Amino acid sequence: MEMSETNPSGAADFKMVAKTLQGLEDILAEELRALGARNVEPGRRMVSFEGDLEMMYRANLSLRTALRVLKPLWTFEAGNPDELYDRVKELDWSKVLTPEKTFALDTVVNSDEFSHSLYVTYRVKDAIVDYFQDRLGEGVRPGVRLKDADVMINVHISGRDVTLSLDSSGESLHKRGYRVASTEAPINEVLAAGIILRSGWRGDCPLVDPMCGSGTFLIEAALIGANIMPGIYRRGFAFENWPDFDRELFESIYNDDSGEREPAHKIYGADISPKAVAIAERNIKSAGVARYVSLQRRPLSQWEEAPEGGVPGIMVTNPPYGERISVDDMGGLYQQLGMKLKNVFKGYHAWVIGYREEYFNKIGLAPSVKLPVLNGALECELREYVIFEGDYDSFRAAGGTLHTDASEQKAEKERQKIEKNREKRAREERRGGGDRQKGGFGKRRGDEKRGDDNRRGRWDSKQPRPRREETEDENPLAARRNPHALKDILGRRPTLSKGDGPIMRPRRGWRRPDADNGGGDNSGDGGNKE
């Protein structure tokens, strides 16, 4: 057993794991370091770290790119379900549960020895129940509840290694609690925040979403720019039901708004749909950030000038993919986006999340960054387009550079790995005589159950997609224009005028029982867009 460390305050540190979406691990790690977490180590869709009880509370309240915060309890080996049952039953569950409590299990399995996660869940449940009945008598046991359980237990199996953890968050942290309505396919809040953080935006330049849908990008940007903790809108966390819950400590963290600030620039959003704009307005008001956001009904075609007199800024947008939401001329929409970037948003860095290569090509610009991301079940790409005036040599002479930090190089390797797997699947489909799909980055979950009209693929086998990386000469637009105005994610602080003080926003009580805890849809397409 490992010895626990002690932080400077004297409280014992313990290990924790923050789960996240693919491609956001490095950003989450930076968030944790900024909070003061110790021994931060990024992994695959997770980041491990150490801290005390206060750190666990702060992580749940403050992290923008975390889905859950887990507290590992026990780690052991098991070679089959029966051995797993015996090992789980040997553990001291009285430290975690009482017969009066309810519990739920969340199981993740990556193992040849355990091929069925549901069966693993049943065996762990039986072991916990039998532990109490053997000691307290038949029928004396904690109850099992699928939703709103008192204690949530995470089971993770990799090979023969089993880790049992307490889920301190409860409902996924992407369910902020500010969303009161949504368009058909809103982007996940964690993904939206991760894209904004990766762009380097911290409120020090304008931010624009011309196809804002239900307003998720706008709200997450406002929370980042004003340094508002995203967790203050939630109705509760799972750790509030734990025996060691420190109510006084949690209240002090929750009610501390001393770090909030006034963003130096506004956030600008628009959509062609009156319904989408109305929904976005409701969500923005619910989050209490209306004073930071300028929202209007405006189609993409009517953007004739960039906000604030053309001050270089950031664009983030999630256009329709043609899956759940479509328009009459999808190719024309993406072509129009490219024209507006070239002619209206000069000096901007545009971050566009999409699903189909053919639509990306319509933009007509070479991306400086390509990152694989999962938007719900869809294997999408996040691309950055750097818009600058003049030729590439002049841009370099003025100090412009390529956006090639280590995190993005790592993500590029991951993207190439995913593409290799897609190529393998395509070859297997061709050998098996199955229908190839057209136009997407990958096969969607459930496509095998759909009709031929809905089957999608990546590219024509007669014209294989080149995988050679572009050189700077071939991709002159893959460079930054304004490195002074835009901040990199790693180790930078936002720039604010010296006279700006914190925003003192009164809390209405730390529990916020009146808040709506409806979360975003994980199955994203584009919002209710043009």
Determine which of 180-184, 192-196, 313-317 has the lowest per-residue pLDDT on average.
180-184
Per-residue pLDDT tens over the stretch 45-96? 999 999 999 999 999 999 999 999 999 999 999 999 999 999 999 999 998 9
Q: Is the pLDDT of residue 512 over 70?
A: no
Q: Is the pLDDT of residue 168 over 80?
A: yes
Shared-domain flag, residues 404 and 314:
yes
Shared-domain flag, residues 18 and 93:
yes
Query: Per the domain annotation, does 311 fall within a domain?
Result: yes
Q: Which two tokens stand for residue 439?
A: 């136009």
Q: How confident is the model at residue 445 (pLDDT cuts 50, 70, 90)?
A: very low
Shared-domain flag, residues 401 and 301:
yes
Query: Per the domain annotation, does 487 fall within a domain?
Result: no
Strands 267-271 and 207-209 come out as parallel
Shared-domain flag, residues 223 and 78:
no
Determine which of 21-35, 274-288, 363-377, 466-480 has the lowest per-residue pLDDT on average.
466-480
Shared-domain flag, residues 202 and 153:
no
Share above pLDDT 90 across residues of the chain, in percent, rounded to a whole number: 59
- Residue 338's nearest CA partner among 383, 392, 289 is 383
Reduced to 3 states (helix: H, G, I; strand: E, B; else coil), residue 96 is coil
Shared-domain flag, residues 25 and 162:
yes
For residue 86, the model assigns a pLDDT of 95
Shared-domain flag, residues 69 and 198:
no
Q: What distance in Å separates the CA atoms of residue 410 and residue 375, rounded to the nearest whole number? A: 19
Please give the order of strands across the beta sheet that includes 38-42. 38-42, 46-51, 14-19, 68-77, 161-167, 151-158, 102-110, 143-144
Q: Is the pLDDT of residue 240 over 60?
A: yes
Q: Is the pLDDT of residue 438 over 80?
A: no
For residue 376, the model assigns a pLDDT of 82
Q: Point out the domain boundary residue: 385, 403, 427.
A: 427
Q: What distance in Å separates the CA atoms of residue 53 and residue 13, rounded to the nearest whole number? A: 8
Shared-domain flag, residues 278 and 146:
no
For residue 437, the model assigns a pLDDT of 40
For residue 484, the model assigns a pLDDT of 44
CATH classification of the domain holding 323: 3.40.50.150
Shared-domain flag, residues 71 and 212:
no
| Bigger pLDDT: 443 vs 141 | 141
State whether the Cα torsion 466-468-470-474 is positive or negative: negative
Distance of CA 6 to the CA centre of its chain: 31
For residue 449, the model assigns a pLDDT of 36
The tokens 């759909």 sit on which residue?
450
Q: Which long-range contacts (C-beta less than 8 Å, at least 24 apart) are formed by 483-488?
A: 483/399, 483/400, 483/401, 485/204, 485/205, 485/311, 485/312, 485/313, 486/199, 486/200, 486/201, 486/204, 486/205, 486/312, 486/314, 486/349, 487/200, 487/201, 487/202, 487/204, 488/200, 488/405
Q: How confident is the model at residue 436 (pLDDT cuts 50, 70, 90)?
A: very low
Q: Which two tokens stand for residue 1?
A: 């057993």
CB 169 within 8 A of CB 69: yes
For residue 389, the model assigns a pLDDT of 65
Q: How confident is the model at residue 327 (pLDDT cuts 50, 70, 90)?
A: low
- Mean pLDDT of all residues in 393-399: 51
- Mean pLDDT of all residues in 254-281: 94
Helices (H), 111-188: 117-136
| Bigger pLDDT: 397 vs 447 | 397
Q: What distance in Å separates the CA atoms of residue 299 and residue 270, rounded to the nearest whole number? A: 7
- Residue 335's nearest CA partner among 367, 316, 361 is 361
Q: Is the pLDDT of residue 127 over 80?
A: yes
| Bigger pLDDT: 100 vs 415 | 100
| Bigger pLDDT: 30 vs 441 | 30
- Give this prediction's pTM: 0.74
For residue 428, the model assigns a pLDDT of 63
Query: Per the domain annotation, does 466 fall within a domain?
Result: no
Structural domain count, the chain: 2
In a 10 Å sphere around its CB, with 0-12 CB exposed, 13-18 middle and 19+ buried, how is residue 274 labelled? exposed
For residue 11, the model assigns a pLDDT of 62
Q: How confident is the model at residue 370 (pLDDT cuts 50, 70, 90)?
A: very high
Shared-domain flag, residues 144 and 226:
no
For residue 331, the model assigns a pLDDT of 86
Q: Is the pLDDT of residue 343 over 50?
A: yes
For residue 185, the model assigns a pLDDT of 75
Other beta carbons less than 10 A from residue 499's beta carbon: 6
Shared-domain flag, residues 219 and 150:
no
Q: Point out the domain boundary residue: 409, 427, 445.
A: 427
Q: How confident is the model at residue 461 (pLDDT cuts 50, 70, 90)?
A: very low
- Mean pLDDT of all residues in 222-229: 96
For residue 320, the model assigns a pLDDT of 87
Per-residue pLDDT tens over the stretch 463-503? 443 443 444 444 444 343 444 444 444 444 444 444 444 33
For residue 181, the model assigns a pLDDT of 87
What is the gyration radius of the CA atoms in the chain, in angstroms?
Answer: 24
- Mean pLDDT of all residues in 260-284: 95
Q: How confident is the model at residue 504 (pLDDT cuts 50, 70, 90)?
A: very low
Query: Per the domain annotation, does 117 fall within a domain?
Result: yes
Shared-domain flag, residues 287 and 362:
yes
Query: Per the domain annotation, does 316 fall within a domain?
Result: yes
For residue 430, the model assigns a pLDDT of 61
Query: Per the domain annotation, does 462 fall within a domain?
Result: no
Share above pLDDT 70 across residues of the chain, in percent, rounded to a whole number: 70
Q: What distance in Å separates the CA atoms of residue 167 and residue 134, rounded to the nearest whole number? A: 26
Give residue 342's domain range.
189-230+259-427
Q: Point out the domain boundary residue: 167, 202, 221.
A: 167
Q: Which two tokens stand for residue 483?
A: 């490195």
For residue 34, the model assigns a pLDDT of 96
| Bigger pLDDT: 498 vs 207 | 207
Q: Return the axis-axis angle of helices 25-35 and 189-199, rounded to nearest 10°.
A: 80
Q: What distance in Å separates the CA atoms of residue 185 and residue 525, rounded to the nearest whole number? A: 5
Q: Return the axis-axis angle of helices 81-90 and 117-136, rounded to nearest 10°.
A: 40
Query: Per the domain annotation, does 93 fall within a domain?
Result: yes
- The dihedral formed by the CA atoms of 294, 297, 302 and 304, expressed in degrees to the nearest 10: -10
Query: Per the domain annotation, does 135 fall within a domain?
Result: yes
For residue 459, the model assigns a pLDDT of 31
Q: Is the pLDDT of residue 410 over 60?
A: no
CATH classification of the domain holding 116: 3.30.2130.30
